[in-house]
Every structure is written in structure tokens, then in C-alpha cells.
Structure 1
Amino acid sequence: MTNLVVNIKPKTLHQVLLVSRSLIAVLCTVLYTISAATIAHEGHIDKDAQLACTEKALRESCEYVKETGDKTAKLYSGYCQKISHNKLCVRNQPIKTIVLEPLDR
């Protein structure tokens, strides 16, 4: 671990307080940035993406469809990957829009 040396010679108690507040603000900013980056990778798990890989091996191709309404759906294509202890389909291709047609009876 690197030691941070600050060469500051304050003349008054007011200057000492200003410097200490600045250092605390910098430390809080760094800690917040680190924690926010960690939380960003802990989002909710899409059940459809998870179901697409239940019977597949890691790094195997996968795809799943999500209905969006208005007789359309989105097709997500990618590969199975393990994220946060969950195996799920990670998209690595553009999302395709599918127009749903009624079934002929």
C-alpha cells in the first residue's frame, strides 16, 4: 500500500480544518466511486436470460425472446456466461425486433 504524504504547513486552526475537510471529501469521493462500480454489477437477474442457459454449457451460444407488446418482440442473442453466481445469456449481438403474426387455424 502506498503512503500518501501531504506537505501542508497551515498557519491557523481554520486552515487546518479546511485542509482536513478537503481530504475527507476526496476520500469519500473515492470510496463512493468504488462502491458504485461494485453495485453496478449486482443488478437484477433477467429470468429469461437465466432460463436460456439452464440446459447449456458456459460459452455456448444462446438466445431468448421478450414480448414488447404491439405484436412485436425482441430477440436477444449471445452466449452463456456466469455472472454473480448465476449462469445467464449475455447478449453480444444486436437486438432484433420480430413482428408477431397471428397463427393460422
Structure 2
Amino acid sequence: MKNWLFLGVAIASEVVATSSMKASAGFTKFWPSVVVILGYVIAFYFLSLTLKVIPVGIAYATWAGLGIVLISVAGWLVFGQKLDFASIIGMALIIAGVVVINVFSKVSVH
């Protein structure tokens, strides 16, 4: 179970880092740039811990899928970016895919 927690930390750190990349304005603002670097270091460290147990395909599919959705939500909430109906449906399908992989796949660690 702790490996899924590690993956959650990795995903959350990546979302914070990517959101801060927008705020860093091309690495021209100091503190958001520091958050980007630290966020990615933390994200990759916890992803590496996750990969000791969870297969790389499952971990990366979960990381990428949830990261896309969470970054889109962060862009909407924090930066006022618009989400149209098609993007919401697409993100729902991504979440459905992550659930199918993690719940029904025989290669996933349950």
C-alpha cells in the first residue's frame, strides 16, 4: 500500500512542479522556478521508489493519466483556463482508463 502512497506523492509533486512552471514565466521568476526544480526532484524520487514494486507500465500510465487530469483542473482553478465539454469527456475517459488498468489488469499490483 505504501507504494501507491509513494506514487500519489510523485503525482502530486509533478502537478505542483508543472503548475509552478507556468508561474515561473520561463524560469524568470525565482521562487516558482525553485518550486519547479524541487517538485520534479521529489516526483522522480518517489516514482523511483514506486517502481521497485509496481510495474513501470502501470505506474507510468497512472502517473500520466492522473497528472493530465490534475494539471488541467489546476489550470482551470488557478490560472482561469477554460475546459470545454470535449476536454471534460476526454479527461473522464482518461480516469476511466486508469481505473480499468488498476482494478482489472492482471499485471497491476493489487
TM-score w.r.t. length of structure 2: 0.21
Bigger helix fraction: 2
The one of the two structures with greater contact order (alpha-carbon pairs below 8 A, sep at least 6) is 2
Larger radius of gyration: 1
Of Structure 1 and Structure 2, the greater strand share is in 1
